[in-house]
Structure 1
Amino acid sequence: MIADAPLTAVVPVTDRARAVAFYRDKLGIPVKEEHAEDITFTCGGTQFSLYETPYGGQAQHTLASWKVDDLDAAMKDLRGRGVVFEDYDFPGLKTVNGVAESPEGGRAAWFRDSEGNVLCVAQGM
């Protein structure tokens, strides 16, 4: 039953107006619905909502990931919108110019939203 129900991801944010501006204006994701308690976006047929809480942006792991056909093009577009990509050097994960490559050929890059939430764009993963 639950496996057939639509899923909406929920992203915690500390400043709703700032986060809406980031997702809507900087990332170019359209708003679907806006309510007093949250705002919902539609992206690639999937929905996600933002809700304001003092705990937004505290998770240090990837909250959302977009699968793209061309990572370089996606990064160029996002950089043109002012997005800054993270660089990591951990055991098993090292980025070069923001990109990590897997032995299987997949590639990924991470950035933070206006609240500090970690987001990812990935190709072939």
Structure 2
Amino acid sequence: MSAKSGDILARGRVATRLPAQDLDRARRFYAEQLGLEPVDERPGGLLYRCGGTEFAVFASTGASPGTFTQMGWEVDDLEAVVSALRQRGVAFEDVDVPGFRTRDKIAEIDGNYPSKGARGERAAWFRDSEGNLLGIGEPVV
């Protein structure tokens, strides 16, 4: 059975990997601030599952630049999620880049991927304990 070059990865699953200089500190952040517990672990790594997808936090001597969104969640009610995370101590970022700016830590973004059937997105960003920039988005239909 031969695989066509264009579909080799299209059948694969995608999983995010986030670096952590202090894995214990990262575990506490994900548990206390985000309410997430690892579903599995190995020496130097924690595996999490959300909405049928996976991401791993792994011990690394390198630091994240935190200059771009490294992982994001899509949610149905952005205000409710942001409010709940703020109550847990999550600090949201102000973002001011060409095309959008946050107002009360939430950005209104025009346009979205046509296949998603949305006309835009509302989004908010925060950093984890290791400096990774994480986002939360809600499609605007």
TM-score (norm 1): 0.91
Question: Take 2:135 and 2:87, find their aligned partners in 1: how far apart are those partners?
Answer: 17
Match of 2:28 in 1: 21
Query: Number of aligned pairs?
Result: 125
Question: Take 1:51 and 1:18, find their aligned partners in 2: how far apart are those partners?
Answer: 12
- 1:102 maps onto 2:109 in alignment: yes
- Give unpaired runs (5+ residues) of structure 2: 1-7, 111-118
- 1:79 maps onto 2:86 in alignment: yes
The CA RMSD measured in Å over matched residues stands at 1.5
Residues 29-49 of structure 1 show CA distances to partners (whole Å, capped at 9, x for unaligned) of: 221111103110111111111
Over the matched positions of the two proteins, sequence identity in percent amounts to 39
Question: Take 2:104 and 2:82, find their aligned partners in 1: how far apart are those partners?
Answer: 11
Match of 1:123 in 2: 138
Residues 76-104 of structure 1 show CA distances to partners (whole Å, capped at 9, x for unaligned) of: 11101100110122222210110110234
TM-score (norm 2): 0.81
